[in-house]
Amino acid sequence: AEIRVDTRIKTDVKIRNNRPDIFILDKKKNKITLIEVGITSQDSLQIVETEKLKKYDLLANELGLIYRCSVEIIPYVMTWDGIVTKYHKSHLKRLEIPHNLEACIQSIETEKTVETIFIERRRGLECINTLILPLKQVSREDDGAKNNTLFISEGGITLDEPTININEESEL
């Protein structure tokens, strides 16, 4: 069998979606399998699975004509925490993936998701630091004006309004 991962598949006709996640050409079974992997939110799970099925319809038809074989598209879609659709089991049977291998795949996907979240959070902190650094470099001369400062909270960055202590004497 010939297996290609994330590779453009050349056809006689120009096809926009020509780069499936996994392409398997099984010459013994005279069959091509296109596997599309997706990790998504629970709200989008069914939509993403359907889109993955439809995305390569044209490519599948063209490959069937070129290689004179059957072509099937199999979506492998789950949420970041391992939730799947009711069709997932039938997709797995068509892939002939043992249950323990699927558990391994889910574990790897969960690990990669956590890693991505960590990297994105780190990037966010780096972005915040690049915003704060110039503010720290601004001269804080006592010119009688109250300075606004950045307030960083879990929800994001906001401008902290200056407060006035009513017990202090007013400069007005």
* Cα–Cα dist 151/149, whole Å: 6
Three-state DSSP state, 146: coil
pLDDT confidence of 123, banded at 50, 70, 90? confident
Average pLDDT over residues 60-74: 95
Question: Length of the chain, please?
Answer: 172
At 121 the three-state DSSP class reads helix
Could you give all domains of the chain from N- to C-terminal order, each with its CATH number? 2-97 (3.30.70)
pLDDT digits (tens, 9 = 90+) for 71-104: 999 998 988 778 899 998 888 888 887 667 667 6
pLDDT value, residue 115: 77
Pairwise CA distance, residues 23 & 131, whole Å = 45
For the cut 50, the answer to whether the pLDDT of residue 137 exceeds it is: no
Position 122 scores a pLDDT of 73
Q: pTM of the entire structure?
A: 0.60
How many other C-beta atoms lie within 10 A of the C-beta of residue 24?
19
- Tell me what the mean pLDDT of segment 105-126 comes to: 71
> Which residues touch 171 (CB under 8 Å, ≥6 apart)?
144
Q: Are 74 and 91 in contact (CB under 8 A)?
A: yes
| CA–CA gap between residue 171 and residue 127 (Å, rounded) | 37
Find residue 25's DSSP bridge partners: 2, 32
pLDDT, one tens digit per residue, over 142-163 is 444 444 444 444 444 444 444 4
